[in-house]
């Protein structure tokens, strides 16, 4: 790898930002140490994670999904660890495919470690790459385990929600109560999340309108978290007595994140949809000398 000139792009969804590494044939090895260096905001390109773009048929974890989805999102957290899903990442991944001319606006499927996700790239009068992106995020699971999160001497009960990855959603009076979120907020009992958890702190802004901050497992506090926004909307709906499976009507929540705004809709069949922006901001190549030093 050290002699190769590797292409990259930089993109974000509500300021949850990613280094995009196109690798259609799955030839690149991305050890955790290299991913962490790529995501380093001072010594690397900088990002909350890496979107490794591979054809499903070329990746051993995705071959079984190749008939449904041509492309596999091999997502890595900013610390280099492997993650099951990233909601904002799926939108940016889809935007990259459109940007590269690999898909057109409309419907497509993307394989992830949490399964196939259906995506709609909206056409916009302003031109390609400007319309919002809607992702079908699957169904939320609501495990019954009771969880508590603690910050600075304050503790809150948290709703356990799984969106293909685990979340603990705590409703608080003030988002500042979440502290600096530089490190993962302690939670108990520890056995509920043996591999760690994404923790969301949520306040109300109005009817079916909330705001959140999040500590993402493996990345720290991020400007946005798509799966987290979905978990927050589902938790808020249950708190408010809004269960689409019971009412038979979709329920939508507006979720403000530090980097922008997402709209989350839960359908009567339990499917959760997320709509928001996705932007490609730059592209280039990784310097071979830097890459050689990073992988030495």
Mean pLDDT of 70-97: 95
Query: Is 86 labeled as catalytic in the residue annotation?
Result: yes
Percent of the chain past pLDDT 90, that is, above it, reads: 88
pLDDT tens digit sequence for 163-203: 989 999 999 999 999 999 989 999 999 999 999 999 999 99
| pLDDT of 146 | 87
Residue 242 pLDDT more than 60? yes
| pLDDT of 126 | 63
Peptide bond into 189 cis (omega under 30): yes
Mean pLDDT of 75-99: 94
**Of residues 20, 83, 86, 135, which has the active-site annotation?**
86
Residue 256 pLDDT more than 70? yes
| Residue 53 banded pLDDT, cuts 50, 70, 90 | very high
Smallest CA-to-CA distance from 235 within 160, 180, 125 is with 160
Would you say 57 and 63 are in contact if contact means Cβ atoms under 8 Å apart? yes
| pLDDT of 3 | 66
Cβ count near 25 (within 10 Å): 10
Would you say 13 and 224 are in contact if contact means Cβ atoms under 8 Å apart? yes
165 is an annotated ligand-binding site residue: yes
**Of residues 225, 236, 251, 286, which has the active-site annotation?**
225
Residue 45 pLDDT more than 60? yes
3 is an annotated ligand-binding site residue: no
For the chain, list the domains and their CATH numbers: 6-132+278-294 (3.10.310.10), 147-274 (3.10.310.10)
| Residue 127 banded pLDDT, cuts 50, 70, 90 | low
77 is an annotated ligand-binding site residue: yes
Please state the pTM of the whole predicted model.
Answer: 0.91
160 is an annotated ligand-binding site residue: no
Residue 1 pLDDT more than 60? no
138 is an annotated ligand-binding site residue: no
- Which residue carries 């929600």 as its tokens? 161
271 is an annotated ligand-binding site residue: no
Mean of the per-residue pLDDT values of the chain: 94
162 is an annotated ligand-binding site residue: no
87 is an annotated ligand-binding site residue: yes
Mean pLDDT of 73-88: 93
């Amino acid at each position: 790898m050290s002699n190769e000139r590797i292409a990259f792009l930089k993109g974000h969804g509500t300021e949850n930002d990613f280094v995009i590494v196109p690798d259609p044939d799955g030839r690149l090895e991305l050890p955790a140490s290299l991913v962490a260096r790529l995501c380093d905001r001072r010594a690397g390109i900088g990002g909350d994670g890496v979107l490794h773009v591979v054809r499903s048929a070329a990746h051993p974890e995705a071959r079984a999904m190749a008939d449904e989805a041509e492309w596999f999102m091999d997502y890595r957290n900013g610390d280099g660890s492997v993650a099951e899903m990233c909601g904002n990442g799926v939108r940016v991944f889809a935007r990259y495919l459109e940007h590269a001319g690999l898909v057109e606006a409309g419907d497509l499927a993307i394989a992830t470690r949490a399964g196939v996700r259906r995506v709609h790239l909206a056409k916009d009068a302003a031109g390609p790459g400007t319309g919002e992106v809607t992702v079908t995020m699957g169904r939320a699971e609501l495990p019954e385990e009771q969880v508590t999160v603690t910050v600075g001497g304050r503790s809150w009960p948290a709703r356990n929600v799984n969106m293909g990855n685990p979340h603990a959603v705590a409703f608080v009076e003030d988002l500042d109560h979440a502290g600096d979120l530089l490190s993962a907020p302690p939670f108990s009992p520890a056995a509920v999340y043996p591999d760690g958890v994404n923790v969301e702190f949520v306040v109300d802004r109005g009817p079916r309108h909330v705001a959140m901050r999040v500590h993402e497992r493996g990345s720290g506090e991020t400007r946005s978290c798509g799966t987290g926004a979905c978990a927050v909307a589902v938790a808020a709906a249950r708190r408010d007595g809004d269960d689409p499976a019971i009412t038979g009507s979709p329920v939508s929540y507006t979720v403000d994140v530090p980097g922008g705004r997402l709209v989350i809709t839960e359908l009567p069949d339990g499917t959760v949809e997320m709509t928001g922006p996705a932007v490609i901001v730059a592209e280039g190549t990784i310097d071979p000398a830097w890459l050689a030093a990073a992988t030495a």
